[in-house]
Structure 1
Amino acid sequence: MAHQVNRIDYRGAFWFPVGPDELWRTIERFDRFESWWDWLRDFRTDSDALVAGNVLHATVVPPVPWRLSMDIRLERSQRPHLLEAVVAGDVGGSAVFRLEPDDDGTLVAVVWSLEMLSRPLRLAAIVAYPLMRWGHDRVVEMAVAGFRRRALDGSPT
Structure 2
Amino acid sequence: MHASEYWFITVWKIGAPIQAVWDAVHDPAAWPQWWTCVERVSEVESGAADGVGALHRYVWRGRLPYRVRFDMRVTRVKPLVLLEGVASGDVEGIGRWTFSSSDELTAVRYDWRVRTGRGWMNLLAPVARPLFEWNHDYVMEQGGEALARRLGAKLVSIGHRERSS
* TM-score interval, smaller chain: 0.7 to 0.9
**Contact 1:6 1:116 (C-alpha < 8 Å) held by counterparts:** yes
- Work out the number of aligned pairs and report it: 151
- After TM superposition, the structure 1 stretch with the greater mean CA deviation from structure 2, 22-31 or 135-144, is 22-31
Aligned Cα root-mean-square deviation (Å): 2.1
| 2:31 equivalent among 19, 30, 33 | 33
Higher relative contact order (CA 8 A, sep 6+): 2
- State the TM-score, normalizing by the size of structure 2: 0.81
Query: How far did residue 138 of structure 1 move?
Result: 0.7
- State the distance in 1 between where 2:66 and 2:88 align: 16
Q: Secondary structure, in 3 states, of the residue corresponding to 2:135? A: helix
Q: State the partner residue of 1:153.
A: 152
Query: How far did residue 65 of structure 1 move?
Result: 2.1
Q: Secondary structure, in 3 states, of the residue corresponding to 2:10? A: strand
- CA deviation vs aligned residue, 1:68-93 (integer Å, no higher than 9, x gap): 10111110001121112111110001
**Contact 1:66 1:121 (C-alpha < 8 Å) held by counterparts:** no
Q: Secondary structure, in 3 states, of the residue corresponding to 1:96? A: strand
- State the distance in 1 between where 2:12 and 2:124 align: 29
Q: State the partner residue of 2:161.
A: none
- After TM superposition, the structure 1 stretch with the greater mean CA deviation from structure 2, 33-42 or 82-91, is 33-42
Q: State the partner residue of 1:10.
A: 8
Query: 2:142 matched to 1:142?
Result: yes
* Closer/same/farther in 2, CA of residues 83 and 16 from structure 1, 3 Å limit: same
* Closer/same/farther in 2, CA of residues 123 and 65 from structure 1, 3 Å limit: farther
* Closer/same/farther in 2, CA of residues 102 and 4 from structure 1, 3 Å limit: farther
Q: Secondary structure, in 3 states, of the residue corresponding to 2:76? A: strand
- State the TM-score, normalizing by the size of structure 1: 0.84
Q: State the partner residue of 1:47.
A: 46
Which segments of 5 or more consecutive residues in structure 2 lack a partner in the other structure? Answer: 154-165
**Contact 2:87 2:93 (C-alpha < 8 Å) held by counterparts:** yes
Identity of aligned residues (%): 24
- State the distance in 1 between where 2:26 and 2:110 align: 17
**Contact 2:36 2:142 (C-alpha < 8 Å) held by counterparts:** no
* Closer/same/farther in 2, CA of residues 50 and 121 from structure 1, 3 Å limit: farther
Query: 2:125 matched to 1:125?
Result: yes
